Structure 1
Amino acid sequence: MTNPFLETWDTPFGLPPFDRIAVGDWMPATEAALAEARAAVETIAANPEAPNFDNTVAALEMSDEALGRVLSAFYAVASADSTPALQALQRDFAPMLSAHMSWVIGNQALFERIDALWQTRETLDLGPEEARVLMLTHRRFVRAGAQLEGQAAVRMAEIRTRLSVLGTQFSQNLLADESAWTMPLSEEELAKLPAGLRSAAKAAGGDKGAVITLSRSLVVPFLQYSPNRELRRRAFEAWGARGMNGGETDNRAIAAETLKLREERAKLLGHDDYASWKLETEMAGSPQAVRELLHAVWTPARAAAEADAAIYADMLHADGHEGPLEPWDWRYYAEGRRRAEHEIDDGTLKPYLQLDRMIEAAFSVAHRLFGIEAREIEAPAYHPDARTFEITRRGEHLAVFVGDWFARPSKRSGAWCTTMRDQHRMAGRDVRPLVLNVCNFAKPDAGEPALLSFDDARTLFHEFGHALHQMLSDVTYESISATSVARDFVELPSQLFEHWLEVPEVLREFATHAETGEPMPEALMDRMLAAANFDQGFATVEQTASAIVDLEFHCGTAPADPMQRQAEVLEEIGMPRAIAMRHATPHFAHVFSGDGYAAGYYSYLWSEMMDADAFEAFRETGDAFDPETAARLEEHVLSRGGSEEAGVLYERFRGSTPDVAALLRGRGLAA
């Protein structure tokens, strides 16, 4: 049969024809696309005409279009519905793609053309977008080692290849550990859990009976609600041990080698350490600026957590348990305290937070803010759970959105937004994006509605905020499209969109009971919103500790033993004994599955400084859906991608950049 990637797709809106793609199609399609990309680069580099923006930079932007078409579809499937065959392909692709990148960066004739344009940029009469793309292209080549020569250039290519292999293996090891562990529950233990959790545990176990897995949507509620301390301990320790169980899936050596190679790469490029190199192009600018932010957050968060820990220890002892409060106790006693103080629990809330209604809520908010409409359509999908929507505005096609919300063993943990096609207008075309949101919510029994916790609903809104950034992008060049922005700016649209989940009029319309259809009672809504910042000491400590460890890993000399260094950093900052890092080193996929968030996990907090301030812009008008403020947000943030510096874009929207006080107020850690 013909390889689908060698054909023109007649699918709705050019979606990948997943129903016709076989495992055997991926490798030949990738090899053909790599050959096409290489030929395109060779043509650009050998062009006898003098370099100009169109024949060099714009041409380079288009050179790997076929490769992107294949790989965006492949990695969407490999992350969300993996198989041993796809994992083997990932391992094969990692060195292939790294070698191609090294070849492009090392093509001296190509870089000379780019450098010549950069050196004469003031004479080129470029528009703002073109000037930005030229700067970013030149900077990308330089930061990747294009100016290195001889053995240094060879070594840089070796490092790049090895890091790509290590990142792939880290991810696959983590997925293997998460998929391998289950804890069966007896009927007696199952009966002690809320109905929604019982249903999810039964669905996860299938014919084997009810089980707890290491999916966050199962293990966290179990830690909240199970009165069996021993079972909580077993579940928590298995969750925390991901990536460090010994054997082939142990990630500790991978983390150590990764950190060492990153340090070597930074030094080859003339930097003292990896963090200095990485942060040079982010909003923060330097490790010191990040350190100041993290410690400004850490001090009040730790104080709040320690005060809460004393309360929970008393509750533990009142239950007849001796000894100190442990990490597997915290969520259980915090949930008990939340029930007592706010008269709510997930068992009460979840029936009002149906997945389908929360999807409708996200679409409705986006419609009221930006005028978009969503219509579910039939289209080929990589998994039956994935749902496809056409997004329009004023009757015109804007994007395709795919939502894949349920957990399964073949899906990596967490939640994310990615694309299978980015918005751009290169070569006179109007290319609209294909956007994918992936979550890991517990799947209900057949015929039952999927019910979310408030945190789950917040995650859904968060990822749809990323999707809006993709769908509302309006730039010419793909390299500056949508989320192609500084890492500590990329979380602004997603975290900002979360705020609309707490707008009462949104909840009144969409938080309806799964059985009765009645809206959430006002008193319950008030209690839920009043508890929105409950236990923020814990949440902020576990997140900030992870960010501090990430930063210190990448400052100075790379640690030979990351686990020892992790322990040292946690001791230095006074980590409360009953709280664990949100992401311990062996399962810190943000940092070790790739370079994206390496020395950059702080970016969620950096963006939060802005999102709290940005939502205030709406509050100040007295209308959470103020049309002028929404239009300004789209014009200066959501539509502009990376076409200008992040700080400039934000200040155009808001007038100034906020400080850490906005973040602390938003979390209830400051007046």
Structure 2
Amino acid sequence: MLDFNIFSDKMIKKTLITPFNTKYNTPPFSNIENEDYLPTFKEAIALARKEIDLITTNEAAATFENTIVALDFSGEQLDRISSIFFNLNSAETNEEIQKIAQEISPLLSEFSNDITLNEDLFKRVKAIYDIKESLDLTAEQKTLLDKRYKSFSRNGANLSEDKKNQLREIDKKLSQLKLKFGENVLAETNKFEMLITDENDLSGLPEGTKEAAKQMAESKEKEGWLFTLDYPSYIPFVTYSNNRELRKKITLAAGSKSFKGDALDNQENVLEITNLRHKRANLLGYTTHAEFVLEERMAETPEKVQAFLNELLLKAKPAAEKEFKNLESFAKDLDNIDELEKWDGSYYAEKLKQKLFSLDDELLKPYFKLENVIDGAFKITNILFDLNFEEIHDIDKYHEDVLTYKVSNASGDLVSVFYADFFPRAGKRNGAWMTSYKPQYIKDSINSRPHISIVCNFTKPTKSKPSLLTFNEVTTLFHEFGHALHGMLANTTYPSLSGTNVYWDFVELPSQILENWCYEKEALELFATHYETGEVIPMDLIEKIKKSATFHEGMQTLRQISFGLLDMSWHGQDPSKIKNVKGHEKEAFEHVTLYPETNETCMSTSFSHIFQGGYSSGYYSYKWAEVLDADAFEYFKETGIFNKEIAQKFKDNVLSKGGTENPMTLYKRFRGQEPKPEALLRRAGLIEN
């Protein structure tokens, strides 16, 4: 096998456009230069066009194989290059890559439109769709045919020529606007620095947080302690700092990202994105963008989403208001705070939690060394699904922090390649996500295995301490690892139905259900050991974790509902009358807000989930999937959280099936019934057990 490090510069482009001559066919990251991307994309698009031409000019009558299957496997190298480039644009970007993204996105948008608006191609797809009842298709094939037909009908294939041209212009503009939105948010995140030079201003902060801030300052050749808007810096500061003014300063900075009327402001981008989405939906015959999106979701309609959110709101709001009043009284008694502000919430909530449960993250963190938590996720997965994880050092990676693993089954067969990227840096956007560098599929009787990645922003090791996670970071790791399992265990024929290619309000089930193991004694004892002594986490701490699990659940649920309502307010109506982003947001939050309004902040301008990512008209899906995961985990608990039979049913009917069938069909096959919301309400403590 050739070592890709010996390729000449002239061969790099060819290496990207053909199957990679690397172990497991993994991306040759270190040999990719930024200047390779644009010409490679152009060549890959040209090759993909030729593949489409072969389908449309085929003189044989259209069949499922020569049209639907051929279409699903077309553009494989383009998809791979796209996954590499756009994953790096999220996890390891720079100004040059961002500029290239602005050039590439319109090309990809135009190519996508050229496919969905290709009349000859649509005729062949429609010819098969019209006779589908007479074809002897499997459930997966029926789903693929339906998905392929809708990819045309829902994206303009039935439009007149002038409307098709309008659609092309809208899609091109949207691709650029979404990129710009994300670039502005990342630039704002990187721009803010709060340098503290007086040690008294560090009062209340844990030693590890102070050491990390000192290290951050040193890395930028500054004296003192440097705090940023990266979560491992921001969250501990607003949670523990006794300095209310500094908490206010960093909270307002986080809340005002891209809302300052300067070059990085996103207000016009928000208005333009929502208006273009609405126009696009209207062109396609839908009343709103939400109606268009939800047609392909479990929820089905905006009305059902609103009803779902309102039903939760009825249960959560009274509990949230009661919790907030208790928090206000606590802050008043403790520090004579007359009015609780946004920068007080995490601080006093943490103090109240310590008082009620004698529990805080600093007490727990020594038991959650990052390496041990990773090992815990691996052990739990091994017990449930017979997966083995072996760290490997013979494949290329895009940054030295990235860990790489070979995942195999009990027979030693390759299941997946797994990348894990855990620490913040300037070129990485905030938050946590799972993604794929290569999907799973079966072609020519070969089951081609996936390459899966999770990306997080956890506390980095310091000179004296390893990376010690907060309990929230532990559940975040398990959440993303649950998504990763959905990708790794995929076992479908067609790439477009593989792994996480499912309805958006079903995709969170595998991730959210795995979080449940973080609260169970049997699971915690597998990995929660003190990083210095090796002592297993004491039983009393486990009990406190479980008891504190529903702490402020009403407020947390109300917060999630508010985000879902904001999303629907932007996408569930005609936004053309909205002229003021802040004013609209204030109206959307009117009945779900607890804290006093702050004029300097605006969530919409940095709400990347719905304006850059894929959650427009879909933010409700986190709560929707919680109903599924709470109901599903109750099934596990009935017979034991490590019951192999239930785990196998979950693997066979959910994790391996991807989007091959309707998600409710898959869920009922696993659970034996439709999910019941009572399980979630019980877990949240919002109704009696």
- On whether the aligned pair clears a TM of 0.5, the verdict is yes
- C-alpha offsets along residues 167-195 of structure 1, whole Å, 9 cap, x if unaligned? 11111110000010011123222353112
Alpha-carbon deviation of 1:267?
Answer: 1.0
Alpha-carbon deviation of 1:447?
Answer: 6.0
Residue 295 of structure 1 is aligned with which of 310, 315, 334? 310
Alpha-carbon deviation of 1:274?
Answer: 1.2
Q: Tell me, yes or no, if the aligned pair for 1:203 and 1:444 is still in contact at 8 Å.
A: no
What does 1:182-331 correspond to in 2, within 5 Å? 182-186=193-197, 187-205=199-217, 206=219, 207-208=221-222, 209-331=224-346
- The one-letter code matched in structure 2 to 1:607 is A
SS in 2 for 1:50: coil
Alpha-carbon deviation of 1:53?
Answer: 1.1
What does 1:242-641 correspond to in 2, within 5 Å? 242-378=257-393, 379-394=395-410, 395-446=412-463, 448-558=465-575, 559-571=578-590, 573-577=591-595, 584-594=603-613, 596-621=614-639, 623-641=640-658
Alpha-carbon deviation of 1:7?
Answer: 5.2
Q: Tell me, yes or no, if the aligned pair for 1:330 and 1:578 is still in contact at 8 Å.
A: no
SS in 1 for 2:188: helix
- The one-letter code matched in structure 1 to 2:188 is D
Match of residue 5 from structure 2: none
- The one-letter code matched in structure 2 to 1:200 is A
Higher mean displacement: 95-104 or 573-582: 573-582
Partners of 1:8 and 1:139 in 2: CA distance: 30
Alpha-carbon deviation of 1:199?
Answer: 2.6
Q: Tell me, yes or no, if the aligned pair for 2:635 and 2:671 is still in contact at 8 Å.
A: yes
SS in 1 for 2:271: helix
- C-alpha offsets along residues 624-655 of structure 1, whole Å, 9 cap, x if unaligned? 01011001001111110000001100011011
Match of residue 115 from structure 2: 104
Partners of 2:571 and 2:141 in 1: CA distance: 33
Partners of 1:431 and 1:240 in 2: CA distance: 44
Partners of 1:651 and 1:7 in 2: CA distance: 42
Partners of 1:485 and 1:579 in 2: CA distance: 38
Partners of 1:508 and 1:578 in 2: CA distance: 42
Alpha-carbon deviation of 1:54?
Answer: 1.2
Partners of 1:578 and 1:632 in 2: CA distance: 48
Higher mean displacement: 492-501 or 502-511: 502-511
Alpha-carbon deviation of 1:523?
Answer: 1.1
Residue 137 of structure 2 is aligned to residue 129 of structure 1: no
Q: Tell me, yes or no, if the aligned pair for 1:542 and 1:579 is still in contact at 8 Å.
A: no
Label 1:314 to 1:442 Cα distance change in 2 as closer, same or farther (>3 A): same
Alpha-carbon deviation of 1:386?
Answer: 0.4
Label 1:447 to 1:77 Cα distance change in 2 as closer, same or farther (>3 A): farther
Partners of 2:108 and 2:461 in 1: CA distance: 39
- C-alpha offsets along residues 214-253 of structure 1, whole Å, 9 cap, x if unaligned? 1122212211100110001001000101121222211111
Q: Tell me, yes or no, if the aligned pair for 1:495 and 1:611 is still in contact at 8 Å.
A: yes
Partners of 1:8 and 1:481 in 2: CA distance: 20
Alpha-carbon deviation of 1:620?
Answer: 0.8
4+ residue stretches of structure 1 with deviation over 4 A?
319-322, 578-583
Q: Tell me, yes or no, if the aligned pair for 2:156 and 2:284 is still in contact at 8 Å.
A: yes
Q: Tell me, yes or no, if the aligned pair for 1:488 and 1:606 is still in contact at 8 Å.
A: yes
Residue 166 of structure 1 is aligned with which of 153, 173, 177? 177
Q: Tell me, yes or no, if the aligned pair for 2:634 and 2:679 is still in contact at 8 Å.
A: no
Q: Tell me, yes or no, if the aligned pair for 2:203 and 2:242 is still in contact at 8 Å.
A: no
Q: Tell me, yes or no, if the aligned pair for 2:631 and 2:675 is still in contact at 8 Å.
A: yes
Partners of 1:606 and 1:505 in 2: CA distance: 27
Q: Tell me, yes or no, if the aligned pair for 2:327 and 2:348 is still in contact at 8 Å.
A: yes
Residue 77 of structure 2 is aligned to residue 62 of structure 1: no
Label 1:295 to 1:5 Cα distance change in 2 as closer, same or farther (>3 A): same
Partners of 1:392 and 1:593 in 2: CA distance: 34
SS in 2 for 1:47: coil
Q: Tell me, yes or no, if the aligned pair for 1:219 and 1:235 is still in contact at 8 Å.
A: yes
Residue 156 of structure 1 is aligned with which of 167, 176, 183? 167
Partners of 2:331 and 2:137 in 1: CA distance: 67
SS in 2 for 1:670: coil
Partners of 1:402 and 1:446 in 2: CA distance: 25
SS in 1 for 2:422: strand
Q: Tell me, yes or no, if the aligned pair for 1:330 and 1:579 is still in contact at 8 Å.
A: no
List gaps (5 residues or longer) in structure 1: none
Q: Tell me, yes or no, if the aligned pair for 1:37 and 1:64 is still in contact at 8 Å.
A: yes
Alpha-carbon deviation of 1:349?
Answer: 0.7
Q: Tell me, yes or no, if the aligned pair for 1:293 and 1:660 is still in contact at 8 Å.
A: no
Higher mean displacement: 524-533 or 463-472: 524-533
TM-score, scaled relative to structure 2: 0.94
Q: Tell me, yes or no, if the aligned pair for 1:204 and 1:213 is still in contact at 8 Å.
A: no
Label 1:158 to 1:6 Cα distance change in 2 as closer, same or farther (>3 A): closer
Partners of 2:445 and 2:257 in 1: CA distance: 48
Q: CA RMSD in A?
A: 1.7
Residue 99 of structure 2 is aligned to residue 88 of structure 1: yes
- C-alpha offsets along residues 28-53 of structure 1, whole Å, 9 cap, x if unaligned? 21111111001111111111111111
- The one-letter code matched in structure 2 to 1:450 is S
Match of residue 31 from structure 2: 20
SS in 1 for 2:167: helix
Q: Tell me, yes or no, if the aligned pair for 1:61 and 1:478 is still in contact at 8 Å.
A: yes
SS in 2 for 1:437: strand
- C-alpha offsets along residues 248-284 of structure 1, whole Å, 9 cap, x if unaligned? 2111111111111111111111111111111111101
Partners of 1:341 and 1:579 in 2: CA distance: 29
Higher mean displacement: 245-254 or 228-237: 245-254
TM-score, scaled relative to structure 1: 0.97
Residue 60 of structure 2 is aligned to residue 49 of structure 1: yes
Alpha-carbon deviation of 1:439?
Answer: 0.4
- C-alpha offsets along residues 571-630 of structure 1, whole Å, 9 cap, x if unaligned? 1x2421259999921111110004x21010000110110100001111111x10101100
Label 1:658 to 1:305 Cα distance change in 2 as closer, same or farther (>3 A): same
Partners of 1:116 and 1:347 in 2: CA distance: 63
- C-alpha offsets along residues 512-540 of structure 1, whole Å, 9 cap, x if unaligned? 11111111111122112211121212221
Alpha-carbon deviation of 1:12?
Answer: 2.4
- The one-letter code matched in structure 1 to 2:603 is A
What is the percent sequence identity of the aligned residues?
37
- C-alpha offsets along residues 59-115 of structure 1, whole Å, 9 cap, x if unaligned? 111211010121111112111011111111111111111011111111100000001
Match of residue 676 from structure 2: 659
Partners of 2:26 and 2:107 in 1: CA distance: 25
SS in 2 for 1:620: helix
Partners of 1:127 and 1:537 in 2: CA distance: 44
Alignment length, in residue pairs? 668
- The one-letter code matched in structure 1 to 2:622 is Y
